[in-house]
Amino acid sequence: DHVIICGYGHSGRSAAHEAVLRGTPIGQVLIIDQHAENLKAAAEHGYIGLLGDATSEYILTDAGIAQAKAVLICLGRDDAAVLTILTSRHLNPSVRVIASASEEENIKLIRQAGADAIIAPSIVGGYLMADSVESTHVADYINDLMQSDGRVRLIERAVEPEEIGKTMRELGPNLVVRINRGGEHIGFWEGERSRAQPNDRLLEIESSQATDTP
């Protein structure tokens, strides 16, 4: 039930750090990297390291992919990412595969290769930079949502029985921004459809300071 991180560059380091912040024990994070100096840095943070090429069936098997919970692919090259996804899926059809894409045009290929989730840091970065030309408020808020130590946090949770029938705006104390109902996304603007139903999952903004409720 460990997490394999392929590539210990900037994104891989940040992913490892966040995984630990969210509760993955440090000893359950295994790093694959081709550069010994990156593995040295990983070891200094307490992670297990494996020297080699993440696109290799041999290395992924050695990393225990058959028992892994998730593979995070942060290789910085989309061609290597595609190979690693295909190899990972071949070795463990049910492992969760998350890939970082460098180029927007490769996202569809990475999805086709079988990634469960795709992140594109440079697209996100470009958006936030362009946004900051006029104002920093939007970029600041998104940064805040995404930092574990910020003032606000975006979380997902099950609906509670006493919440059934209330609209998203009536739910509290957090601010509900989306309902996931089956495969559907429901917005706060959708009137009657925005009333909570059993089995709904609520996506909400939580304040780090709001500790008034028992």
Binders of its own copies among residues 36 to 65 (CB under 8 A) are none
Between the two ends of the chain, the Cα-to-Cα distance in Å is 33
> What is the closest distance, in whole angstroms, from the C-beta atom of residue 85 to Ca ion in the complex?
26
> What is the closest distance, in whole angstroms, from the C-beta atom of residue 69 to its own copies in the complex?
7
**x/- map, 78-107, its own copies, by CB under 8 A:** ------------------x-x-x-xxx---
- Could you say which of 3, 31, 60, 75 contacts its own copies (CB under 8 A)? 3
Residue 27 or 58 with smaller CB distance to its own copies: 27
Residue 58 or 133 with smaller CB distance to its own copies: 133
| Contact yes or no for 103/78 (Cβ under 8 A) | yes
Residue 58 or 187 with smaller CB distance to its own copies: 187
SS3 32: strand
**C-alpha span between 169 and 98 (Å, rounded):** 33
> What is the closest distance, in whole angstroms, from the C-beta atom of residue 113 to its own copies in the complex?
16
Residue 18 or 116 with smaller CB distance to Ca ion: 18
Q: What does 109 bind: Ca ion, its own copies, none (CB cut-off 5 to 8 Å by kind)?
A: none
**C-alpha span between 22 and 187 (Å, rounded):** 27
CB neighbour list of residue 24: distance below 8 Å, 6 or more residues apart: 3
Note whether 123 binds its own copies by CB under 8 A. yes
The site that binds Ca ion (CB under 5 A) totals a number of residues, namely 3
Q: What does 150 bind: Ca ion, its own copies, none (CB cut-off 5 to 8 Å by kind)?
A: Ca ion
| Contact yes or no for 174/204 (Cβ under 8 A) | yes
**C-alpha span between 80 and 109 (Å, rounded):** 12
List binders of Ca ion among 124-183 (CB under 5 A): 147, 150, 153
| Token representation of residue 79 | 């061609």
SS3 46: coil
The number of residues in the chain equals: 214
Give the interface segment with its own copies, choosing from 38-46, 49-57, 129-137, 159-167 (CB under 8 A). Answer: 129-137
Q: What is the DSSP string of 79-98?
A: HHHHHHHHHHHHH-TTSEEE
Binding site residues, Ca ion, CB under 5 A: 147, 150, 153
